[in-house]
Structure 1
Amino acid sequence: MRLYPPVPFNHKEPVKPDIVPSGHLVHPKTKILFCKHCSYLVHLAGFQASNSGNKIIEELESKIPIGETKWRLLFNVDEVKNLVYLHGALCEALRLYPPVPFNHKEPVKPDILPSGHPVHPKTKILFSVYSMGRMKSIWGEDCYEFKPERWINERGEIKHESSYEFLSFGAGPRICLGKETSFIQMKAVASALIYNDRIHVMEETPVVSAVSVVLHTENGLMTRISKRWE
């Protein structure tokens, strides 16, 4: 079943805003829902397991005005949108645990890949976003480590990697339209939960990834949650 009309990668014909077929919007909307559905808890568990939670808390505390109580229910958009370490932690979680672990593309007419390999119509190219996020040739010898610092440059700013290497949101003409919105949503939810609560993954419960269209754990993720501030 195809949810959207095929658009070739080298499509150059301009599309007038007033005549865009509604079908063109089905895929982006579906993709936004997939991104919104992706497991915040997996991200949070990754932060806690890697001891990155304390650094995120320190970054959040720097946004609280002097004299204000430490306890904070929510952080607003202006407070979270420029959080560098939290952004790096989210990217690292998405690199290791992409919501959609694999994808495929199908050309509508003959084309040639950058590698020189010819592809023909109806040829499906399947690629694993999960595996690409763990390739030493792309991410280095420490590719299996949860390391938010890899997304921060020497000036302490967010380091933007090529979307063709970091494919959690897709790349090129079909990159997820909700990417920036997703980051704001994830930062808002993650900041509130990490700052106000302690989240511990139960060690006696094995965490096994299940093969599915959307990445999830086979038997759920057992956690213990307690208040950080009294």
Structure 2
Amino acid sequence: MTKSEYSLLKDEIILRASGTPRHGEILRSVKEIYKQSINSKRRYEQIETIAQLLKVLEIRDVLSENSIEPLKEVARRLQDNNELLRKITDYELISVSKKDLNNTVSSFTATHDEKIESVIKLNPFGGNLSPRKKERLFETIIEETGTNWRALARKLKIRECVIIKIDAEETTLADKVKKILEIYEQRADPQRWFFVLCDALEESYRRDIADSLRNIIVMNI
């Protein structure tokens, strides 16, 4: 599988940072910046490398393809970093261009979105939504979410202590996602549940799943 531009950039920064005698100094400095985001004294103390720090920040949704500030913080502290900072700037410019393109494409989906809203009004959660359609929606999320389940849980406003409990009690990724959906279903707004769920998936960088749900919800099943 070809690595994304984001992964290549992150790997280069990790390689450069791990090879410098100032690795420990840089690690302590950047860790301190994101101490609040790490949000766990035990996890904070366990982080011993730049690679581990960046992984934790990805889990916490602080670092992602669309938010690379932690990479810049590391790069700024490296010696002879002009070329690396130029690559970061180029990456950000490309990302902005892609975002503009996505916004242009989304402007053509208004009619489809209106149809979805009409379906949801007629089929509130726990109301007239057919069991088959609900099963299809949930199966898609359970089968496709995978390792993004924690990010999805956080975007659905599920508390961190509950996420930790789910992780400890449920063995498979599918079971973890299923548990998240059970919790969400119990408290979801009957009229807004679908839109909140799709927004959470998109914010978890799984727009592909959200798009699949939008197609399923308007099916005559």
Indicate whether the TM-score tops 0.5.
no
Instruction: Give the TM-score taking structure 1 as reference length.
Output: 0.29
Instruction: Give the TM-score taking structure 2 as reference length.
Output: 0.30
Q: Greater share of helix residues, 1 or 2?
A: 2
- Structure number with higher relative contact order (C-alpha < 8 Å, ≥ 6 residues apart): 1
